[in-house]
Amino acid sequence: KPIKTLTEKQAAAEAATLRPQLLKWGKQYYDADAPEVEDATYDRVYARLVALETAFPAIVTADSPTQRVGGTTRGDLPKVTHEIPMLSLGDVFSIDELKEFDERLRGNVDEDFDYNCELKIDGLAISLRYENGEFVQGSTRGNGQIGEDITANLKTIDSIPQTLSRPLTIDVRGECYMPKAAFLALNERREAAGQAPFANPRNAAAGSLRQLNTQVTADRQLATFMYNIADYEPLNTRTQSGLLDELAELGFTTNPTYQVAHNMTDVAAYIAQYQDKRADLPYGIDGIVIKANPLPLQRSLGATVKVPRWAIAYKFPPEEVQTKVLDIEWTV
């Protein structure tokens, strides 16, 4: 039913049926690393809940999935408190919605600014803590405030430096993912051994990190792209694009495809370019992220309980594209 035709009572009743459904799917996805439904199905129901709650703000409940970062922590993994929370991202599904985001943001900001466009890597968020340049602790996002300590597992991943090129004390954030080829090979091995295959590379990466046997992680060929820092003060740069360059200089692997965009026409061109290239990339992406490029502006805009105000994800439409990796059909 169109939301305009609903009364607040009807909207509240519909939202009350959507929330437990989303929470149940979320539990399977975030906690068990075994989703019950396609992401597009989850996204559609989530978008409907957002639309209901936006039209009728009084119906929002504190336990709504729109008010919390999805995910919890496994009881058998040690916990880590994120002093600066790890957030989710708001998302849009069309260029028109992206333009609305841009207009809203520019309406609230006096200065002119660029966006940094990045690929949205389909993995799971990790945080890496360095003290005086030494890797000391790595964790999952968890519920955004408390994550799981997976330091030993992360130490097996080649792209994570043990020592930085400068003795900084920083928390660097990014994505851990399983390359497509590694995912296909893993599922072949699992099926040959009579084990259930992973639903997708994101779940395979999460399942490989959030477990107790370090050797299992070491065998899974995981990789990382880092793209954020909890506090930018120790860096020399003051832009998001500069941050990616500086993280690379420090020894992290960053994704080289980022582009600074001056306006939404540039952003739309970036989206079109990577929508085309998506199937041929050796790792999965589910959209692109645009971020206000000046870091002080990011800081002054801040975040809601769940998402930063200075960034948004554009999600690609679900598509069935066939390409070949290792002579095996690959579907994205």
Q: Which spans of this chain sit near ligand NAD (rule: CB under 6 A)? A: 25-26, 28-29, 35-39, 42-43, 70, 88-89, 91, 118, 120-121, 125, 141, 175, 227, 289, 313
Specify the residue, 84 or 326, whose C-beta has the smaller distance to ligand NAD: 84
Helix (H), strand (E) counts: the chain: 10, 13
Q: Which is nearer to ligand NAD, 141 or 309 (CB)?
A: 141
Query: What is the C-alpha to C-alpha distance for residues 225 and 167, in angstroms, rounded to an integer?
Result: 21
Task: Say if strands 115-121 and 223-229 run parallel, antiparallel, or are unpaired.
Answer: unpaired
- H or E element in which residue 19 lies: helix 8-26
Q: Considering beta carbons, is residue 164 or 244 the nearer one to ligand NAD?
A: 244
Distances in whole angstroms, Cα of residue 239 to Cα of each of 25, 183, 232: 37, 34, 9
Give me the catalytic one of 120, 180, 306, 315: 120
- Give min distance, CB of 101 to ligand NAD, in A: 15
**H helices within 123-239, ranges in order?**
151-154, 180-192, 201-209, 214-219
Q: Are 128 and 119 in contact (CB under 8 A)?
A: no
Q: Rounded to 5 degrees, what are φ and ψ at 157?
A: -90, 120
Q: How far is the CB of 192 from ligand NAD (least distance, A)?
A: 26
Minimum distance, C-beta of residue 29 to ligand NAD, in the bound complex (Å): 3
For residues 175 and 209, is the Cβ–Cβ distance under 8 A?
no
Q: Which C-beta is closer to ligand NAD: that of 91 or that of 148?
A: 91
Question: What does the alpha-carbon distance between residue 29 and residue 37 come to, in Å, rounded to a whole number?
Answer: 9
State the minimum distance, in angstroms, from the CB of residue 7 to ligand NAD. Answer: 29
Taking the C-alpha atoms of residue 177 and residue 201, their distance in angstroms, rounded to an integer, is 7
Closest approach of ligand NAD to the CB of residue 45, in Å: 10
173 near 230, Cβ under 8 Å? yes
Give Cα separations from 281 to 108, 134, 258, 308, 310 (angstroms): 36, 32, 14, 27, 27
Chain centroid to CA 68: 14
Is 6 or 268 the residue whose CB approaches ligand NAD more closely? Answer: 268
With respect to ligand NAD, which residue has the nearer C-beta, 20 or 167? 20
Active site residue 79: no
Residue carrying the six token digits 């990190």: 209
Nearest approach, Cβ of residue 329 and ligand NAD (Å) = 22
The residues that are catalytic are: 120
